[in-house]
Structure 1
Amino acid sequence: MFNDFTADYLVGLAGGGFRPQPKVSGRLSSYDGLLMEAVGLSLPVGTVCAIGTGESRVEAEVIGFRGGRTLLMNLGGPAALLPNAPVRPVGPPGEAEVGAALLGRVVDGAGKPIDGLGPIRGAGKWPLAGKIQSPLDRGRVLQPMDVGVRAINGLLTIGQGQRVGIMAGSGVGKSVLLGMMVRAAKADVIVIGLIGERSREVSDFLETKVAGAARARSVVVAVPANHSPVLRIRGALRATAIAEAFRNEGKKVLLIMDSLTRVAHAGREIGLALGEPASARGYPPSAIAMLPSLIERAGTDVHTGGSITAIYTVLADGDDGNDPVVDSARSILDGHIVLSRALAERGV
């Protein structure tokens, strides 16, 4: 027999439309330091899961399936995991926080603020992978874009909505050139993706290049090289999604990504972990195929009048102009600027 309190409580739950929902959970069956395998749960690719409990709890993203097992990759730091650790989904795949609430802020690949200014409130949502757009919705490149560098404006003019690559070896001056653009470019919003760079360089870039008035109109997505490859790719997707949302509002956006090569490196790590065959320079097919889908999201929207002018740095490993990433980017981008090491060494 129920007492009166229990009966009233159950009636209240029924009246409030309460419906108990089962909790999806699996267990960790394999972990080799990079790739995790879980059994007992079926989740879409891109879902974020929590693995383990207490202090050993880490987050991982679903990246594929194999033989009835779910494959995941760690999003955080060292994972002190045990066999049969619980695996639970904690977030849906594919959404990024966007909007004016992010202006002046610095976030990581997961969208968490890392600038010490507190949580981001009032942000909207936008698909990480972007929204499918018809080719006929893309506008032509008609207006010049003032990037704040006279040599580029006068001799290598960039148009609004154009996708341009800055190609060079290491230490030639790509980051310095990007800093000049951030400070002086004529754009409503500047979205900066620092992907796979050294942590010291990220801190230096923020303190010396993104300061003053430039900081107030900028959004920075910083994912240093010591972060997981999944998080590095998420950082590139997040920066592009933020730029797309501003373009959808009719704004002129300058998207700067440093560097496209580090994104391809992250794709290579994931592809090889999944067992894909390595082709040119060790890059699996998925690592190179990922670049067009990322670059093609920039451009002009004929309906809103907004545009994304994208500038990607492409690191030529060993100053090799035929590097697979350089060669692929050259074929997809609207134009490219090649920095000469010989001129840089002469101080020109």
Structure 2
Amino acid sequence: MDIIFNPPVNDENQYIQLVVGELRAKRYRIHPLDTIFSSRKHFSAIKLIHLNWFENIDDSSFFVALRSFIRKLLVLIVIHWSGKTLIWTMHNRVSHERRLSFFSRSLTRLLMRWSHRIVIHSGQSEEVLAAYGPKALRKAVYVPHPNFIGVYGGIRQVPQREGRRLELLFIGMVKPYKNLELLIDVVHTFGDSVRLTIAGKAVDEAYQKEISDRAAHASNVVWLPYFVPDTEIAALLGKVDVVVLPYDLSSSLNSGTAILAFSYQKTVICPEIGTISDLGPHMGDTFHYRYETQEQHREALSAQIARAVALKHRDPVALAGMGQRLYTYMADQYALQRVGEILDNHVYRL
């Protein structure tokens, strides 16, 4: 079958490469969205369009956002009226871009209404869909987020020694909804008992300066302000005890970075987003928390870091044990082959 999977490549996110590779192994011919209008013959050949993050809008300026919105709106209208099968993966509660959220909300409502299937990666997604009505909820098909076991090389572990400080890692694109300012401030209060490494490129120069200035005033924070190459990710994860992801609960739903941590035998400190809630009994192998206000977030994050510090001092191998159990769960429940089978048999075959 000729299908469009958008985006078909993403150098900064192996999720796309994994899913596209599995679909190609099942003999789907993958085409980029930009080619849909390249010719009448090609347009007719496309039977299905699968969109990821299509609701996101570049909000760097009003005119840039308006142009992006109009272009995407026209594409959705053509897809809808052509009768082609439309699949949408719902990755977030709402778009993380908040400055001009009207555009993103409008596209989301159309995707909810016009999609034939909505791929979800967590049980919490059903709560979000239910708010749009029973029709949207009936379109949902759960597909596990593929694990990243072996994708970035083999697992590397640094031997744990009693009394060492807690090594925390934040890895990923540095964006405001990930609450790095709060994380730096909280970690700073722990002094020498904790060290935080932030590894990732900032979304823009202004935000990079803001995070850089905060990190410079915290002696126990190290910032690597660049996109971490795939060849360095396993080694970076191998040097730390815990991955910390203080995401915004109002927009965050799934976390590929949490799946990455589990795939390399690391536990996480993270709010109870969908990825964490889906762990069921293995939630106990993470440092999870909830909050409503920014002050509650500060207190909850600090409490979970303190728990991790105390646990490492009490039992130097306990954190590694948590990571190993999460790894086993990922290998069993989040296998790429399972993702491909569900897409092939339950999403793409209406």
Larger Rg: 1
Higher-helix-fraction structure: 2
Q: TM-score, normalised by structure 2?
A: 0.32
With normalisation by structure 1, the TM-score equals 0.32
Q: Select the structure that is richer in strand.
A: 1
